[in-house]
A and B are shown apart, each in its own frame.
Chain A
Amino acid sequence: MLLKRLSEAFGPSGCEGEVRDVLTKELESYVPSWQRDALGNLIAVKLGTQGPRVMLAAHMDECGLMVSSIDKSGLLRFRKVGGLDDRVLVSKHVIVGSKRVAGVIGAKAIHLQKPEERNQVIPLSGLYIDIGAKSKEEAEKLVKLGDYAVFATEFGYLSDTVVKGKSFDDRAGCAVLAEVLRENYAFTLYGAFTVQEEIGLRGAGVAAYALEPDFAVVLEGTTCNDLPSSEEHGYCTSLGGGPAITVMDASVVSDRRMIRELERLARENDIPVQFKRSITGGTDAGRINQTKEGIPVVVISVPCRYIHSPVSMLSLKDFEYTVKLVKLFLRSIEGGFVI
């Protein structure tokens, strides 16, 4: 399953090579030509003969860690890459560096903690990655400064329709985009798999600058907090509620004409959709929208619980509905929908 391979691929911001490889291999026979730009964005180019130039974007990178120093005891100190919550780090399995070394994020055991330490989140300075090395020299044979680490989370099924895995933000979006790219369209379609979204929407801006699409759709795995700790009016999206359309977030106001068309398509094809009900957080759409003379954009997301943590969850029904909705939208462009 492509989502499994994408989810398990090693691809923190700035080190997206493995995700790129999964995608180019998977789509070899569907994509006639690829572009790879200076930042590492991977762009599937499917040239068409008529109609607008459309960009679909999903980011390949995930939040991770970077080795910042190696202690003489062989323990690795690290910094975060992207918006990880300090509270989710301790006691997790990770994979480190180009040799894909297994490690564990360690901290002082509860028995050894002072009373005041038990009441606070362990700061990064109190955490380290333990790869079982006994000395700095031994560790340096396996890992170097600047090596990345990601959570070692296996993809799996929790039920027939709900799956868990790491980095559904935004490998879910990558998987949706890959499904869409298996078909051919009359217009020119750019499938942009972007880099460095988690550290400031960096890849998408330069990709949009180079491609100059007439409009763009950003595919995301977005937050979903339909959980007992939230009041109903605080839910952002609901798992199983169908694809989530963003009206506005901290980075962008989605184009109303595109939202209306998506709503129409969903209604006429019995696809459940929901609006993302929070305006915090940003996506590649913000950067694309602000490129050059301005590019109309809309964001469609697969709702994912527990993103930016070692393990997230999504509903395959939401995923499939998202693929269906995006394909319908592209067919509608073929049928004459323009902005």
Chain B
Amino acid sequence: MKELIKQVVECYGPAGNEKAIRELIAGIIAPFVDEMRVDNLGNLIALKRGGDKKLMFAAHMDEIGVMVTHVDKHGFLRFYPVGGVSPLTMLGNRVVFENGTTGVIGSEKLEAQKDLTLNKMFIDIGASTKEEAEAKVRIGDLGAVSREFVDLGPRLVAKAMDARVACAVLIEALKTVANPAHDIYAVFTTQEELGLRGARVAAYSVSPDLGIALDVTRTGDTPSSMIMDVSLGKGPAVKIRDSSVLCTPAVRRYMEQVAKDNSIPYQLEVLEAGGTDAGAIQLTQGGIPAGVMSIPCRYVHTASEMVDYADVENGVKLVRAIMETKYTG
């Protein structure tokens, strides 16, 4: 499964331009689903038939990135953030555009490091003039961090683990599920990083009986980290709340019960800040019961997000078991 994770995390796909990652995922899952369509916001909605109730899984395929806003006469690009981008983690990073153009992020001279803000930073694509730069990149183009996947053995590191590792979990579960107990709608959503936008309209059109978002969550297991009772290696997390959602208690209990019945390790998650697609799904139409399974992840929204491989494997087991267990809540 590591090869699958490598493939999806390394793919280009900033929020608002998910075409490449969508086509990659569509190609992988096509043999394992009954129907597939792309909606107006670019969500990939796949259906695997299996039962009378509709169970929707949502894993977002977009990643954070940058949008080019200006090209100066020396060929430097100015940019705005797309999603939760921190200047600290962007400095010195490489970004890649849809056509493969790569640039490095530099900064104006600063009096002090704390003065580092995104509007003092620029992208250098190796052009010397405005014309040369504009032949490769234009205003409005979206860039994403470029960084290779690294296998550390028990732990994996890459950009865009948020939430491509969740996409990989959903793909793997779709591939291996034996007897789905529901009509499984596997939705690979867009624009999550910009406000859960894809999931909102996808939930409207799918109109599921139950929605489960698959995403990453933060951890409290690094030196002097924030206090949070989630650690790498203790299993996938069943979310209780984040700033977007109070997970429907019946859904949380169902997810926990499935984990217990199948002897899959899991941990409970209370996330102080941050949101997931479940927040949008839950408030769609007349309200949809919603839950979240998260893969614990260190260094979220950096170029090197780290997950535990056993958590990923157990995440696949839990998602597959949920697909195969009737929801009666």
Contact = CB atoms under 8 A, between A and B. Distances in A.
A69 B265 CA distance: 61
Nearest to A251: B195
Contact of B69 (A253, A278, A289, A293): A278
A259 B140 CA distance: 10
B80 A294 contact: no
B127 interface: no
Given A275-B139, A278-B80, A293 B39 contact: yes
A247 interface: yes
B89 interface: no
Q: Is the interface of B mostly helix, strand, loop or mixed?
A: mixed
B194 A275 contact: no
A230 to B, nearest CB: 11
Q: Is the interface of A mostly helix, strand, loop or mixed?
A: loop
Interface stretch (B198-206, B215-223, B249-257, B317-325): B198-206
B16 interface: yes
A295 B204 CA distance: 12
B67 A248 contact: yes
Contacts of A275: 139-140
Interface in B43-83: 43, 67, 69-70, 72, 78, 80, 82
B275 to A, nearest CB: 15
Nearest to A339: B40
Given A290-B200, A293-B204, A294-B201, A233 B72 contact: yes
Interface in A32-67: none
A277 interface: yes
B70 A253 contact: no
Contacts of B194: 253
Contacts of B39: 293-294
Contact of A277 (B16, B43, B139, B200): B139
Interface string B257-299: 0000000000000000000000000000000000000000000
A278 B15 CA distance: 16
Q: Assign chain A's interface to a size class.
A: 20 to 34
B7 interface: no
A199 to B, nearest CB: 19
Chain A CB count within 10 A is highest, among B82, B140, B191, for B140
Contact of A289 (B15, B41, B82, B202): B41
A253 B15 contact: yes
A233 B80 contact: no
A235 B71 CA distance: 12
A330 to B, nearest CB: 20
B129 interface: no
Contact of A290 (B16, B17, B67, B197): B197
Interface string A289-307: 1111111100000000000
A184 B41 CA distance: 30
A210 interface: no
Nearest to B284: A292
B119 interface: yes
Interface of A: 232-235, 247-248, 253, 256, 259, 275, 277-279, 289-296, 339
6 closest Cβ pairs, A-B complex: A294-B201, A247-B140, A253-B16, A294-B40, A233-B70, A293-B205
